[in-house]
Amino acid sequence: MRILITGARGLVGYHIAAAASPSMTLFLTSRGEDPNLGYPYLAADLTQRAEVERLLRWAEPDVVIHSAAMTLVDACQENPELCWLHNVTATRYLVETLAELRPKAQFVLVSTDFVYDGFPALQRPYVEGDYEAPISVYGASKLAAEAWVRTYPGCWAIARTALVYGWAPTAPRDNILLRVLNQLKAGRTIALFTDQVRTPTWAADLATGLLLLATEQAQGIYHLAGPTLETPCSLGQKAAAAWGLPVEKIQPLTREEFVQPAPRPPYSPLSIEKARALGYNPHTPEEAFAQIRLHL
Ligand SMILES: NC(=O)c1ccc[n+]([C@@H]2O[C@H](COP(=O)([O-])OP(=O)(O)OC[C@H]3O[C@@H](n4cnc5c(N)ncnc54)[C@H](OP(=O)(O)O)[C@@H]3O)[C@@H](O)[C@H]2O)c1
């Protein structure tokens, strides 16, 4: 099975390459330099249709896992046009070109819990099929990208994930876990929200889930998230405990105290029962941290 991974230099891309089995032939792409993950790599800007075509002719994929995106939620809010270009137009070009060149290939999009508003009528985790109503530019752009994926005439899957954490030597930016560890190891305090409920996801679990969608040729929407409900604050406290760092240096924060440029869903946990039925079995934060500690 030939699998093209976009966003290969990102946190998720790194873990997909690490989780691939010998029966999979991976082809990697991002914009920057080859991250040297042991697979063929071609740099491409997905906002350029000609580069997308060159990429698909090069990889001849049976599956495309589209992980590349403009992922900084506040930057998206401040620059909606750029966000739309990277998240929506790039997805559109990939979908349309794949349909033309490799119509039997599967298309898998990595999406987000931010397609939901986070004000569920019932205080229960979202299930696939629940009503989407993004409240940020980033969330809207990912939902629009999903809409393009749904037009793909072949097999497609949309994997919604949440608050991804982990470690990768090649990732271009930090994540909640690295922010907590960096601050506490430097002896500083860190303020973390107590009024944003999520299902944080270890990037390695997400990668395994994405490859499962590929091997199972899954069709439709799947939630690939972690198994526990956390706030950024409770997750940070668990990380501090796992690394033996001072938990009291984590200060609780609410959205009244600190207004972020992009509004965040207050309550967006994802139910993972549908993915579990397929064989997805993610780790708790404590289990994941025990493995990440081998690197950090
Ligand atoms: N991180 C989270 O908490 C979270 C939560 C929910 C969903 N997601 C989704 O998960 C996916 C992966 O996230 P991540 O954390 O791994 O992201 P990341 O670390 O920010 O990496 C994003 C990657 O996308 C590539 N990229 C961006 N624009 C591109 C373009 N126009 N053409 C080609 N490549 C482009 C970047 O390439 P270069 O490095 O070469 O510039 C980078 O490698 C995204 O789709 C995101 O929306 C993430």
Eight-class DSSP state of 33: S
Judged by DSSP in three states, 279 sits in coil
All residues at 6 or more sequence positions from 81 whose CB lies less than 8 Å from its CB, including other chains: none
In a domain, 184, yes or no: no
Which of the four pLDDT bands, split at 50, 70 and 90, describes residue 95? very high
197, two tokens: 């409920």
Indicate the SS3 state at residue 174: coil
* Structural domains of the chain, count: 1
Which of 164, 174, 198 maximizes ligand 1 atoms within 8 Å of its Cβ, making it the mutation to test the pocket?
164
How many A from CA of 121 to the centre of ligand 1? 31
The ligand 1 site (C-beta within 6 Å) comprises 7, 9-13, 30-32, 45-47, 67-71, 86, 90, 110, 112, 142, 161-164, 171-173
Domain-located, residue 236? no
Residue 290 lies in a domain: no
Name the residue range of residue 45's domain. 2-174+201-227+269-282
- C-alpha distances out from residue 111 to 25, 29, 43, 61, 205, Å: 23, 18, 22, 20, 15
Average pLDDT over residues 170-188: 92
Q: Is residue 56 in a domain?
A: yes
**93 within a domain of the structure (yes/no):** yes
Taking the CA of residue 163 as reference, the ligand 1 atom at the shortest distance is: 3
Residue nearest to atom 15 of ligand 1 (CA): 11
Burial environment of residue 58 by CB neighbours within 10 A (0 to 12, 13 to 18, 19 or more): middle
12 has pLDDT over 80: yes
This model's pTM is above 0.95? yes
Question: Is residue 240 domain-resident?
Answer: no
Q: Phi first, then psi: give them for residue 287, nearest 5 degrees.
A: -65, -45
Is residue 195 domain-resident?
no
CATH code of the domain covering residue 141: 3.40.50.720
- In this predicted model, what pLDDT tens digit does every residue of 65-87 receive, in sequence order? 999 999 999 999 999 999 999 99
Ligand 1 atom nearest 9 alpha carbon: 43
